[in-house]
């Protein structure tokens, strides 16, 4: 039986594409919510989870950072998927026939210039791949869907236009998560370490905590804050740094961080993707 990798969305979603491109030996397992993805791995129905964390155009994916610390899973890899938007419709339909397209709310503004030029109205859908499946059932020959090419292949739709996104850099970063840690050094482009922490309630605690990374020459590639527990005074931080916890300079920086924090949890140590340099 093939190993499975869980993702949020329908077959044909960009998360499905990320699974197919990076783990072709795993069977994709679609799930309704991010919580369902995590549960699928924790219950043993899937070996891995593919979770989006940020998009170069849209920014941070809501809810993910809140879920990671309590997920029981560990980051073992990162993956980048270029979001190439295609307009698809029922077989035989021409571009000039399309009056309306449906897509996830986040996708519509990313193709605004193309839609305006062609006089096509946009309508938000819960899921772009799901909208493709619904189009097949509707037999609507004046509507199309914005989604990935893989959605057109799965649902038997014709692609009328490709790469219609406004920005050519549109890319989503995913984290690959497993119930087991993988701390060994691997890959050819260095290692990354991700962690969450809360600073102690003392003056300049965050400034002092970050100072250890600067003085020890550790490159921090991401630092984000978000509220926890619904309290404006309870702030948690998510960070990515270059390096492995066993590196001398990283160890010193994390030791200094621990002094100024009330909680600190390493979420994973994993290979730095070559896509970062592309």
User: Distance between CA atoms of 275 and 164, rounded to whole angstroms?
Assistant: 22
Question: What's the DSSP call for residue 110?
Answer: G
Collapsed DSSP state (helix, strand, coil) of residue 26: coil
* Active-site choice (7, 34, 174, 213): 174
Instruction: Give the other-Cβ count within 10 Å of 70's Cβ.
Output: 9
Helices (H) and strands (E) in the chain, counts: 8, 15
172 catalytic? Reply is: yes
213 catalytic? Reply is: no
Instruction: Give the other-Cβ count within 10 Å of 195's Cβ.
Output: 21
Closest among 43, 42, 55, 67 to 15, alpha carbons compared: 55
* Active-site choice (81, 114, 172, 195): 172
Q: Is 68 exposed, middle or buried (0-12, 13-18, 19+ CB in 10 A)?
A: buried
Active site residues: 172, 174
């Amino acid at each position: 039986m093939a190993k499975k990798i869980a993702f949020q969305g329908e077959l044909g979603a960009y998360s499905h594409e990320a699974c197919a491109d990076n783990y072709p030996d795993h069977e994709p397992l679609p799930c309704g919510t991010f919580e369902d993805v995590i549960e699928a791995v924790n219950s043993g129905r899937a070996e891995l989870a593919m979770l989006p964390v940020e998009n170069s155009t849209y920014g941070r994916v809501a809810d993910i950072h809140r879920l990671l610390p309590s997920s029981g899973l560990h980051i073992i890899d990162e993956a980048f998927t270029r979001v190439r938007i295609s307009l698809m419709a029922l077989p035989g339909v021409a571009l000039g026939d399309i009056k309306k397209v449906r897509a996830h709310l986040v996708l519509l503004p990313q193709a605004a210039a193309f839609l305006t030029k062609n006089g096509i109205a946009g309508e938000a859908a819960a899921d772009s791949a799901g909208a493709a499946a619904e189009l097949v059932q509707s037999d609507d020959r004046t509507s199309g869907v914005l989604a990935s090419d893989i959605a057109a292949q799965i649902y038997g739709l014709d692609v009328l236009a490709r790469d219609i996104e406004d920005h050519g850099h549109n890319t989503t970063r995913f984290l690959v998560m497993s119930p087991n840690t993988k701390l060994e050094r691997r890959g050819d482009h260095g290692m990354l370490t991700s962690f969450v922490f809360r600073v102690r309630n003392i003056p300049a605690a965050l400034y002092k905590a970050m100072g250890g990374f600067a003085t020890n020459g550790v490159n921090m590639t991401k630092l984000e804050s978000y509220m926890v527990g619904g309290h404006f005074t309870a702030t948690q931080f998510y960070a990515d740094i270059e390096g492995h916890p066993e590196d001398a300079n990283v160890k010193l920086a994390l030791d200094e961080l621990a002094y100024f924090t009330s909680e600190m949890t390493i979420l994973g140590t994993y290979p730095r993707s070559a896509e970062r340099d592309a």
